[in-house]
Chain A
């Protein structure tokens, strides 16, 4: 993408699109960082701010969608341009969903009181899961911003780790519920939080796949995708 289009305004629009996605990514990263901090510190104020900030993410996603619409209508992009524009729609949707899920996590934090769960290990595990997910997201967004797919496979693999952490957390929470049935009201939100975090990880993987597709024009192994879909179903 170093060489320029003959039509400069096309280049500018593509740049606007990529820049918009990068800032959308930045907002998603910020939301995820806030989630991590809120979890760790049980910070309800930060959680509220994060919920509020999700509106910004949604607005930016809508404006990016408009931009892609215009580019498709005016420029009829081909080959790598087509892949870029088409995937921008997908990536912006994934990022928007990450925002939604962060919002979901924050809502759970505010609703119950994490401390009532009396399960500091689970909270720690959730914080660690968040960190893993954060790392994946950082890597894929870096890739995407630079138009590379260097980390795609790493992210893809780390998703397997995220999935197993998620499974472990689920088991731990189930055990907690069995041991402390009285704390069930505080434990169930943790269950949802874990589920949200796992799904954020899935979105990061999806973005990695998109980045790979833009660069190579090929899709990452379909078997993997099937697996991801299977897991998100329940």
Chain B
């Protein structure tokens, strides 16, 4: 099995994120066991698995969101563009400014639509002129497919939008900082099917410019949006491979049992 995993992991010259032997502990409890996973550049990788399998934990290792939890410890190496992100010299704030994240529940700030999107660029002091900022906001909203819906409502609070719009606003907010990677933690689990379809369409468009890693509970969604799929179970990476292979004929029995709905 290990050998197969190795083989599945090879993405010729395309890996943007390389994870080697990543272990994660919450106090004394181990949550992830030796994860070896490469994530290809400018493609969508989905992480699937039953609840509590560690897929979200793994996602949060990539932008070091686990640092916030005192009892959480990460071992092993995670490299982004060959740079070890857990190296002591790495500035977490700077790292996160290169990685966008979208959460399960749409969480726009209780500010206007405009300020939500402008928050990142202003925070990092990258854009100083008002005109440039306006342009950035418009462009980000456009890329998130939201501009036409909110262009007359920029000063309304972000929380007044519908659930699906809020989630796309969060995506716009994330891409406004020009990240190379976008992490999505079950971005559609609180949305209706139409809003979900819009987000999926958006993910499909965004993958030309961003490396996207998405945690999802919906296998159909993983099958639809991603090029590669990794299956986690009980803190271990069971199988990773081309999405089509995982959903048509996975190598591992556990993967097959999970994707066909035999356990979970």
- A interface, CB within 8 angstroms of B: 3-7, 10, 76-83, 216-218
Contacts and interface: CB of A to CB of B under 8 A. Distances in A.
A82 B246 CA distance: 12
B261 interface: yes
A78 B259 contact: yes
Contacts of B256: 79-80
B249 A10 contact: no
A4 B249 contact: no
A4 B248 contact: no
B219 interface: yes
Given A76-B220, A78-B219, A6 B249 contact: no
A169 B188 CA distance: 64
Given A79-B246, A79-B259, 12 more contacts: A3-B262, A3-B263, A5-B261, A6-B261, A7-B261, A10-B261, A79-B250, A81-B260, A81-B261, A216-B249, A217-B248, A218-B249
Contacts of A77: 260
Nearest to A218: B249
A82 B248 contact: yes
A4 B262 contact: yes
A83 B249 CA distance: 8
B249 A5 contact: no
B257 interface: yes
B14 to A, nearest CB: 25
Question: On chain B, which size bracket covers the interface?
Answer: 10 to 19
A109 B223 CA distance: 52
Contacts of B220: 76
B76 interface: no
Interface in B184-234: 219-220, 223
Nearest to A86: B248
B255 to A, nearest CB: 8
Contacts, number: 43
Interface of B: 219-220, 223, 246-250, 255-257, 259-264
Contacts of A10: 261
Contacts of B246: 79
Given A79-B256, A80-B256, A5 B247 contact: no
Nearest to B250: A79
B252 to A, nearest CB: 11
A4 B223 CA distance: 23
A79 B263 contact: no
Contacts of B261: 5-7, 10, 78, 81
Contacts of B247: 78-79, 82
CB-CB nearest 6 A-B residue pairs: A217-B249, A78-B259, A81-B260, A79-B256, A79-B259, A79-B260
A7 B262 CA distance: 8
Nearest to B223: A78
A77 B255 CA distance: 14
Contacts of B263: 3, 6
A6 B257 CA distance: 10
B106 to A, nearest CB: 26
Contacts of A218: 249
B248 A79 contact: yes
Contacts of A6: 261-264
A79 B262 CA distance: 11
B245 to A, nearest CB: 9
Contact of A5 (B248, B255, B260): B260
A72 to B, nearest CB: 12
Contacts of B259: 78-79
A10 B246 CA distance: 21
A3 B248 contact: no
B57 to A, nearest CB: 24
Contacts of B248: 79, 82-83, 217
A100 to B, nearest CB: 31
Nearest to B256: A79
Contacts of A83: 248-249
